[in-house]
Amino acid sequence: MIILNKIISFYYREYKLNLSGFQDILTNIVFFFVSIFIFIFSIGPEKEKISILGIGIVWTLLLLSSTLSLRKFYQDDFENGNLLIMHLNGFSFGSIAILKTFSHFLFVQIPFLISIPIASVLLNIANDKLMYLFASFALGSFILSCLGSISSSMNLMNQRNFLLGSIIVMIFSVPIIIFSVGIINMEENFNSLISILFGILLIVFAINPWASGFCLKLSIENN
């Protein structure tokens, strides 16, 4: 029960923080829609063209905007010492990583998930594809959150080169993108592709607490 309470307390804090940074969430979403407009304008108004490209566009923008928020992942809490306070309050570095990953998923990815239906209207994505898009995105975005956790904890030690972390995430997410977009375009293979994606998710999810926790520990030691 205490553990559950602690987890709830953790998320209460995250919630307060993220809401005071509510504009960041909004900025992400607005970025998402503005870019969709850019694409529509550069493609021209023909419906078929748009709907062919729609899914690819949604996926890339999702990836890019989650890299946008990487800096918030640990950096702020690290700099004002709150990461340490969390640790001293009984959260091992690994569990901090897991909780933070879920929090990123919750406060950064879920808003996107919610805005997908609207985006799909703009992009003329067929209704029957929407479900596949949702499924692949739910899995894929969680993988991205895990990768984001790993790379931004690595960046706490690196500190100089902020973009490097984003690049690493992006390189690793190439296969995810390929599979996810594949899911939607080749519906026959849906099951096998989704299970590959799920496999990747499990691997990344298992690695995440170790890798991120290790980096968090090291960077707090050296601060």
Partner 1 sequence: MKFLVNPSKFNEIADYIFKPVLILSIILFAIGLLFSFYLSPDDYQQGSTVRIMYVHVPSAWLALLTYAIMTLYSVLALAFRLPFGFIFNTAVAPIGAVFTLICIISGSLWGKPMWGTWWVWDARLTSVAILFVIYLIIIFMNLSFENRIIREKVVAIFILVGSVNLPIVKFSVDWWNTLHQPATISKLSKPSIDPSMMTPLIIMTFAFIMIGIAIAILRIKTEIISRKSYLS
Partner 2 sequence: MIIVKDLSIERSNKKIFENVNLSVGSGKIILLKGKNGSGKTTLLKAILNLIEPSSGAIYWKGKLLRRNLYDFFSQVTFIADKTSSLSKLSVHENINIWKKFFLSNISNSQIENILKTLKLDIYLNQKVNSLSLGETKKLEFLRLIIENKKIWILDEPLSNLDDESIDLIGQTFEDHRSKEGSIIYSSHQESEINVSEEVLL
Binding site for partner 1 (CB under 8 A): 20-21, 23, 26-27, 30, 33-34, 37, 40, 45, 47, 50, 121-122, 124, 154, 157-161, 164, 167-168, 171-172, 174, 215, 218, 222
156 and 74 Cβ atoms separated by less than 8 Å: yes
Read out DSSP for 95-107? HHHHHHHHHHIII
The only residue of 17, 53, 106, 113 in contact with partner 2, by rule CB under 8 A: 17
Q: What count of residues does the chain have?
A: 223
Which residue, 47 or 160, has its beta carbon nearer to partner 2?
160
83-142 residues in contact with partner 2 (CB under 8 A) are 84-85, 87-90, 92
192 and 131 Cβ atoms separated by less than 8 Å: no
> How many other CB atoms are found less than 10 A from the CB of residue 208?
23
Which residue, 102 or 212, has its beta carbon nearer to partner 1?
212
Residue 74 CB partners (closer than 8 Å, separation 6+): 83, 100, 149, 152, 153, 156, 216
Q: Summarize as ranges the residues that interact with partner 2 (CB under 8 A).
A: 2, 5-6, 9-10, 12-13, 16-17, 20, 80-82, 84-85, 87-90, 92, 158-160, 220-223
